Homo-oligomer: A and B are copies of this chain.
Amino acid sequence: MAVPDPGLPTRVRIHEVGARDGLQNEKTTVPTEVKAEFVRRLAAAGLGTIEATSFVHPKWVPQLADAEQLFPLVAELPVELPVLVPNERGLERALALGARRVAVFASATESFAKANLNRTVDEALAMFEPVVARARAEGGHVRGYLSMCFGDPWEGAVPVDQVVRVCKALMDMGCDELSLGDTIGVATPGHVRELLVSLGAQGIPAEVLGVHFHDTYGQALANTLAALRQGVTTVDASAGGLGGCPYAKSATGNLATEDLVWMLHGLGIDTGVDLGRLVATSVWMADRLGRPSPSRTVRALSHQEQ
C-alpha cells in the first residue's frame, strides 16, 4: 500500500544496539556463545550495522566483560560491528582485536556526566579527544553518542543550545557521526524537530546524525518519524526492545527494531531487514533470557502473550 512520501528518505540504516545496549543491563550472565549467535542471527536477518559489545571496565558492566572473547567470534561477519570504548584503554583493547569502528559515550548534561562518567561534560570531552584522534589515526570510524539530549532526570528539559554545543565539540574533535540519545524517553516530535533544525543551522547536517529514542513514554516511533522528516537516515534500535534506561524501570526502554522496521517498511522505506527472521531472532533471545520481548511487533507476529 506504500505510496512514497517525498518528505521521507527511501532508505534507512538501522544501527542495531541490542547486543550491547540491550544486553548490558541484563542481570543474568549471557554466555559468550549465545551473544555471538545473537549477533550472527541479527546479521542473517539483514542488519548491516550491529553494535557488538563494549570495551568498558568489567567492574562497570559485568555483562560485557567478555568483549575480548566475543569480538573475534563475530569479526568476520560481513557487517559493520562498532564497539563502545569508554576511554583510551578501552580503545587499545578494541584496536588490538582489529576493531576499527568505535563509539564514545558523552553526555549533554552535567548531572548525567557526573553520574555516568564522574566528570564534568568538558572533562569527559577532554577524555574522548585522544580516543577519537587515535582511532582516526588507525583509519577508524568514530561514532559519538550523546545522551540526555532532550530531558534529564535531574535537570528536566535540556536546552537545545546546550546539546548543540556538545555536538559541535564532538564533531570538531573528529567524530564521523553522532547519535542523539533521548535516554529517558521524554522527547516529543516537536522537540526532535527543533534540535535537528538547530543542529543544521550550526553546520551539523542530518547526514551525520543518528537518533536513539527510548519508548518509556511510547514516543519513540513518532519521534523517529519527525527525525526522518528532517533528513535523518540512521536510526538506533534494539532487537526485541532489549534493554532500557536504569532511571525508568520499565523493560520497554529501547525502541524495538521490529516496531521500527514495521513502520519503515509500511512507509515503503528500505532497510534490508527480513522482519520474519528478525522476529524469530528476538523470540530466540527472549527464550534465552527467560522472559517475553517487550516489542509489540514481536508479540503480535509471534503471538506471544504479555
Residues of A within 8 A of B (CB): 1-5, 8, 150, 157, 160, 185-191, 193-194, 215-219, 221-222, 224-226, 248-252, 256, 259, 262-263, 265-268, 294-297, 299-300, 303, 305-306
Partner of A190, one of B157, B185, B268: B268
A selection of 28 A-B contacts at a CB cut-off of 8 Å is A1-B150, A1-B157, A1-B190, A1-B191, A2-B188, A3-B193, A3-B194, A4-B190, A5-B189, A185-B300, A188-B267, A190-B266, A191-B266, A215-B218, A216-B296, A217-B259, A218-B297, A219-B263, A221-B222, A222-B222, A222-B224, A225-B225, A225-B226, A248-B300, A250-B305, A250-B306, A252-B306, A294-B306
A295 adjacent to B222 (CB under 8 Å): no
The listed residue (B4, B8, B219) touching A262 by CB distance below 8 A is: B219
| A interface, over-half SS | loop
A178 smallest CB distance to B (angstroms): 20
A217-B300, A218-B297 given; 7 more Cβ-contact pairs under 8 Å: A1-B150, A1-B191, A1-B194, A2-B188, A189-B225, A190-B266, A219-B221
Chain B's closest residue to A248 (CB) is B300
- Of all chain B residues, the one with the shortest Cβ separation from A267 is B190
In the complex where A263-B189, A268-B190 touch, is A296 in contact with B215 (Cβ < 8 A)? yes
Closest B-chain residue to A5, C-beta based? Answer: B190
Q: Which residue of B lies closest to A219 (CB)?
A: B263
- Please indicate the chain B residues that have their CB under 8 angstroms from the CB of A216 in the complex: 296, 300
Closest approach, in angstroms, between the C-beta of A22 and any C-beta of chain B? 16
How many angstroms from the CA of A31 to the CA of B305 in the assembled complex? Answer: 27
Task: Name the CB-closest residue of B to A269.
Answer: B190
> Please, which residue of chain B has its CB at the minimum distance from the CB of A294?
B306
Q: Which residues of the other chain, B, contact A297 by a CB distance below 8 angstroms? A: 217-218
Tell me the bound Cα distance from A91 to B217 in angstroms.
38
Whether the pair A2, B250 counts as a contact (CB closer than 8 A) is no
A218 touches B221 (CB 8 A): yes
Given the complex, which residues of B lie within 8 Å of A263, measured CB to CB? 188-189, 218-219, 222
Report the minimal beta-carbon distance from A294 to chain B, rounded to whole angstroms.
Answer: 7
Give the residues in chain B near A305, CB-CB below 8 Å: 249-250
Q: With a CB–CB cut-off of 8 A, which chain B residues contact A300?
A: 185, 216-217, 248, 250
A2-B217 in contact (CB<8A): no
Residues of B within 8 A of A256 (CB): 218
Closest 7 CB pairs of A and B: A188-B266, A218-B259, A218-B296, A221-B222, A190-B267, A217-B297, A222-B222
